[in-house]
């Protein structure tokens, strides 16, 4: 699952600024040492017996689930880091398994793997923000990592005239922003996080070249994290071109007060040395069970195959995040391939580089291998390796429950799904489903993540997986998905709930 404030912190600084840190508390986990793979007894002593069903009986193969998960989250793949050769190895393994299960290729040109491209660049050295005014003989020089942090740099240097806006003054609005200005925004006192988010979004989308906002008690921890890394530069997926957008500057409060004392029209220059663009790759696995009478209608089952890889000599194994979802999709594919062919086409997609910002899914949406309009619904499987204590042990939850009529309909046909009990965590927006939902596709995530402390830690290992729960979770979705693939039901967005 894509983090709000860890691995993707730099790529989503502005989202965090807008949230004013409301999600930070839930994401703070104590650091752990790299575990041995047998650091804790297995929790699947009451696991159901292995059942390898016949061709007419799509039942669970528990040994397949365990074997696949042990490989994907084992030492051989070093945590399946996004865009690494280990991610590539994981994709090749999954593709070969799906081929053996009898699924046809769905990545185009008779391939099971779609190779995606990603372009990135970095800021090097010590980026600075310099403010010079006619009234001051000495320029004010602010350095990234000290008085300020920068993000969302698309170009450098940038020179702009300072424009101060105090939002306590009702006469100010986004329409008063001067083109290519360095916009210094003072928020109203007492705004809620949501009100601040909505307000700042207006100004971020204005004509300003630089947007400068004060830090706060909400954002101080984030400021400290960002200060330890160079400024983030937005990555370009596939054939995307760089977008003209405001550079974001977050300041310490005392620094903001210094800037506020500068006169309007002072010259603000953002200096940063940027490396040339570098191209890297990610790998999506796509396979299908061809439908019969409604083959141009697609039920898409997905998960992300990558994780955080290796960092500072430690391996982030990602057994729950998201080897559990990946093996669920693989096992559903295996079981459903043994059943009679469905009316609708079933496509399984294992996305690459989700942890870097939904890169694999975004690349596919740019370069689809079948018409996107054919997708009836997408179910993403994300972190189902342990039960969530907020719901019953045999239940799963569905993100965006109130956004569509898909969840309640699946429940009517046997799915043990409930509404996401952790709305404040914004999980609907934090996995690959969201990239599809933004395109208008009914796309929601199935999960049972209970905010366990191994999330995005080296301790997310195979021995922590509750295989009895994982087996039940996968088995519970076979019948509802079989129904969906053979029905005429087409889910719809609830009015006003479409992203």
Integer CA distances (angstroms), 474 to 25, 202, 341, in order: 31, 43, 20
* pLDDT band at 13; cut points 50, 70, 90: very low
Please classify residue 43 by burial: count the beta carbons closer than 10 Å to its beta carbon, then call 0-12 exposed, 13-18 middle and 19+ buried.
middle
Helical ranges in 288-380 per DSSP H: 325-338, 359-366
Please state, in angstroms and rounded to a whole number, the distance separating the CA atoms of residues 430 and 413: 27
Query: What is the pLDDT at residue 169?
Result: 82
Please state, in angstroms and rounded to a whole number, the distance separating the CA atoms of residues 360 and 115: 9
- Count up the domains in the chain and report the number: 2
Q: What is the pLDDT of residues 247-279, one digit of tens each?
A: 989 999 999 999 999 999 999 999 999 999 999
Question: Which one of 244, 274, 304 terminates a domain?
Answer: 274
30 falls within a domain: no
Question: Which one of 249, 274, 299 terminates a domain?
Answer: 274
The two structure tokens encoding residue 223: 């400021």
Q: Do residue 326 and residue 396 come from a single domain?
A: yes
Q: Do residue 306 and residue 448 come from a single domain?
A: yes
Higher pLDDT, 248 or 471: 471
Q: Do residue 450 and residue 363 come from a single domain?
A: yes
Q: Do residue 151 and residue 263 come from a single domain?
A: yes
Question: Which one of 274, 303, 324 terminates a domain?
Answer: 274
Q: Do residue 446 and residue 334 come from a single domain?
A: yes
106 falls within a domain: yes
Q: Do residue 296 and residue 238 come from a single domain?
A: no
CATH of the domain at 342: 3.40.630.10
Please, what's the largest Cα pairwise distance for the chain?
A: 84
CATH of the domain at 236: 3.50.30.30
320 falls within a domain: yes
Query: What is the pLDDT at residue 336?
Result: 97
Q: What is the pLDDT of residues 203-232, one digit of tens each?
A: 776 789 999 988 765 567 778 888 988 998
Parent domain of 337 = 38-118+279-486
Percent residues over pLDDT 90 in the chain: 71
Query: What is the pLDDT at residue 19?
Result: 37
- For residue 301, report the phi and psi dihedrals to the nearest 5 degrees: -110, 130
416 falls within a domain: yes
The residue whose two tokens read 């569509």 is 404
CB-based contacts of 373, cutoff 8 Å, min separation 6: none
Q: Do residue 257 and residue 222 come from a single domain?
A: yes
Most confident of 6-20, 176-190, 201-215, 266-280: 266-280
Region 108-124 average pLDDT: 94
Q: Do residue 403 and residue 384 come from a single domain?
A: yes
215 falls within a domain: yes
Q: Do residue 168 and residue 143 come from a single domain?
A: yes
Q: What is the pTM of this model?
A: 0.82
Judged against a pLDDT cut of 90, whether residue 1 lies above it is answered with no
């Amino acid at each position: 699952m894509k983090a709000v404030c860890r691995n993707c912190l730099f790529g989503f600084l502005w989202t965090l600024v807008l949230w004013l840190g409301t999600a930070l508390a839930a994401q703070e986990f104590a650091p752990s040492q790299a575990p041995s793979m047998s650091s804790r007894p297995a929790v699947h002593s009451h696991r159901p017996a292995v059942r390898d069903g016949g061709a007419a009986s799509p039942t669970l193969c528990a040994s397949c689930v365990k074997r696949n998960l042990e490989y994907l989250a084992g030492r051989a793949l070093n945590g399946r880091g996004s865009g690494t050769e280990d991610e590539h190895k994981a994709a090749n393994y999954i593709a070969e398994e799906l081929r053996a299960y009898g699924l046809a290729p769905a990545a185009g040109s008779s391939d099971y793997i779609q190779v995606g491209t990603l372009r990135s660049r970095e800021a090097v050295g010590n980026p600075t923000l310099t403010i010079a005014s006619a009234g001051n003989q000495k320029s004010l020089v602010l350095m990234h990592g000290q008085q300020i942090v920068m993000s969302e740099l698309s170009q450098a240097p940038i020179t702009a005239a300072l424009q101060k806006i105090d939002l306590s003054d009702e006469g100010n609005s986004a329409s008063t922003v001067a083109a290519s200005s360095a916009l210094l925004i003072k928020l109203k006192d007492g705004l809620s996080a949501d009100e601040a988010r909505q307000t700042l979004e207006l100004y971020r989308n204005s004509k300003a070249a630089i947007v400068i906002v004060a830090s706060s008690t909400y954002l101080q921890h984030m400021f400290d994290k960002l200060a330890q890394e160079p400024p983030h530069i937005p990555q370009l997926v596939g054939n995307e071109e760089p977008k003209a957008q405001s550079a974001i500057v977050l300041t310490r409060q005392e620094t903001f007060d210094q800037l506020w004392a500068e006169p309007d029209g002072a010259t603000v220059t953002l200096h940063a040395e940027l490396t040339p663009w570098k191209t890297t790759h990610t790998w999506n696995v796509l396979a299908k069970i061809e439908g019969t009478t409604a083959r141009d209608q697609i039920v898409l089952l997905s998960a992300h195959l990558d994780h955080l890889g290796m960092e500072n000599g430690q391996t982030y194994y990602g057994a729950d995040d998201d080897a559990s979802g990946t093996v669920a999709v693989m096992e559903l594919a295996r079981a459903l391939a043994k059943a009679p062919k469905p009316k609708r086409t079933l496509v399984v997609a294992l996305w690459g580089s989700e942890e870097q910002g939904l890169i694999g899914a975004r690349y596919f949406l740019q370069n689809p291998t079948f018409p996107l309009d054919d997708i009836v619904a997408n179910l993403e499987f994300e972190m189902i390796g342990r039960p969530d204590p907020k719901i019953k042990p045999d239940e799963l939850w569905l993100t965006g429950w109130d956004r569509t009529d898909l969840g309640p309909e699946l429940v009517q046909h046997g799915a043990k799904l409930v509404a996401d009990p952790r709305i404040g965590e914004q999980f609907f927006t934090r996995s690959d489903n969201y990239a599809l939902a933004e395109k208008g596709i009914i796309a929601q995530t199935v999960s049972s993540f209970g905010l366990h402390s191994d999330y995005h830690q080296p301790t997310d290992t195979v021995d922590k997986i509750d295989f009895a729960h994982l087996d039940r979770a996968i088995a519970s979705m076979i019948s509802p998905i079989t129904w969906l693939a053979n029905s005429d039901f087409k889910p719809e967005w609830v009015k006003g709930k479409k992203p």
